[in-house]
Amino acid sequence: MDEALAVALITVARSLAEDHRYGDAAKLLERNDFIDFLRASDHEDASEVGNQLAWWLAWSGHYGDALSLYDRLLTRAMSTPRRRQIQARRAHVLGMSSADGATSRLARDAFAELAEEMASDRSADERLEFSVLRQHARWVGTSGDPGQALRLLQQLEEDWAAKADRNEREWMLLQSNLAYFLSRSGNASVEEYEGIAVRYRRLAEMRERVLGATDPDTLDARRNAVWFSFWSEPVRGLMNARELETDALKILPAGHPYLIAIMLDVAVFAARGSQVSIAQEHLARIRQDLRSCRDQASALSEYGDAQPVESRFEEIRECLRLADAETDLAVLDELGRILTSGQ
């Protein structure tokens, strides 16, 4: 493959990834001639492209391929900052690679080791160190100690709040982590749920300012705000979910995993509010789209689960059963088969 074609492929893949279409981005570059091009190149930028490809593979569900690529990349000669970036990405993907606690603990330990290394290096990149500390706290929580994660994140927020040169994207991820672990820190009251919703709304405003209103991360923050506002005010929560759905339909293609998740949210809220017709409508609309996004189900949030859609089916089923909506129960059964069998 000549360099001009390789550069063109990389440019298109990065554009796809910016829209969170990680599977499409990875598929574009997963071709033998491109992989051979990367292997033959001794330029450090080749390591960065490989780093991105591994990341896209992971977010499209191909964890084993991603980890193998990271391992190959770490055998190359590169600068210390680049090596640390790749180690951090690898640690995160390792944590994502399984639903059990073992990989979460491995990710936690990998980030702890990297943070210790950077703490003893006065020349370490402060922005990367902040990211590593944040991710260590995040995996502390995911591996079973949300209270300790929250304390670490709150300390990190306090230490970095006044720094003018902080990485705004990392700062927004910190705010997202804080909101997430606040919601996991015990049996939250209605008032606490509203406080968490306020955090997510502020995060959505930050992301809209930095990333734009159409960025999927902005939509994700709005989606989380909707969920927690629903717990405190169900009627307002459903209205907010419908508004978010309207906005998402304007900017996301059919079958996009975020759009599927938002439409299922609306179905759940409608079912809980006994608004059967809305639940029926949304089940019918996502019937085909769900097939195309099944393999990307783990990419619906930075935590790798985004409240798996299977867990929502039972309460929608009960709502439809009470309404004697036999046709829609059949649709729901088919959706369940699509999710569990991939057929």
Candidate from 48-52, 97-101, 107-111, 174-178 with smallest mean pLDDT: 97-101
Average pLDDT over residues 251-270: 77
pLDDT, residue 238, reads 86
pLDDT, residue 298, reads 41
Assess whether pLDDT exceeds 80 at residue 285.
no
Assess whether pLDDT exceeds 90 at residue 40.
no
Query: Model confidence at 47, in pLDDT bands (50, 70, 90)?
Result: confident
Instruction: Give tens-digit pLDDT for 179-205.
Output: 888 877 666 666 777 888 888 899 999
pLDDT, residue 280, reads 75
In angstroms, rounded to a whole number, what is the distance separating the alpha carbons of residues 201 and 227?
A: 11
Instruction: Give tens-digit pLDDT for 298-330.
Output: 444 443 343 434 444 454 555 445 545 554 555
Contacts by 265-270, CB closer than 8 A, 24 or more apart: 265/223, 265/226, 265/227, 265/241, 266/238, 266/241, 266/242, 267/312, 267/316, 268/312, 268/315, 268/316, 269/230, 269/234, 269/237, 269/238, 269/241, 270/238, 270/319
Please write down the HEC assignment for all residues of the chain: CCHHHHHHHHHHHHHHHHCCCHHHHHHHHCCHHHHHHHHHCCCHHHHHHHHHHHHHHHHCCCHHHHHHHHHHHCCCCCCHHHHHHHHHHHHHHHHHCCCCHHHHHHHHHHHHHHHHHHHCCCCCCHHHHHHHHHHHHHHHHHCCCHHHHHHHHHHHHHHHCCCCCCCHHHHHHHHHHHHHHHHCCCCCCHHHHHHHHHHHHHHHHHHHHHHCCCCHHHHHHHHHHHHHHHHHCHHHHHHHHHHHHHHHHHHCCCCCHHHHHHHHHHHHHHHHCCCHHHHHHHHHHHCCHHHHHHHHHHHCCCCCCCCCCHHHHHHHHHHHHHCCCHHHHHHHHHHHHHHHHCC
Who has greater pLDDT, 325 or 3? 3
Who has greater pLDDT, 108 or 79? 108
pLDDT, residue 307, reads 42
| pLDDT, averaged across the chain | 78
Residue with tokens 């919703």: 197
Assess whether pLDDT exceeds 80 at residue 271.
no
pLDDT, residue 7, reads 85
In angstroms, rounded to a whole number, what is the distance separating the alpha carbons of residues 262 and 309?
A: 11
pLDDT, residue 46, reads 80
Other CB atoms within 10 A of residue 23 CB: 22
Of all residues in the chain, what percent carry a pLDDT higher than 70? 78
pLDDT, residue 34, reads 86
Who has greater pLDDT, 205 or 255? 205
Instruction: Give tens-digit pLDDT for 201-237.
Output: 999 999 898 888 877 788 888 888 888 888 778 888 8
Per-domain boundaries in the chain: 1-78, 91-186
Average pLDDT over residues 275-285: 76
Whether this model's pTM surpasses 0.75 = no
Instruction: Give tens-digit pLDDT for 129-171.
Output: 999 999 999 999 988 898 899 999 999 999 888 776 677 888 8
Average pLDDT over residues 40-67: 84
pLDDT, residue 257, reads 65
Residue 116, exposed/middle/buried by CB under 10 A (0-12, 13-18, 19+)? exposed
Tokens read off for 160: 């970095």
Residue with tokens 């059967």: 276
Candidate from 103-107, 182-186, 287-291 with smallest mean pLDDT: 287-291
Tokens read off for 119: 């703490």
Residue 89's φ and ψ, nearest 5 degrees, are: -60, -45
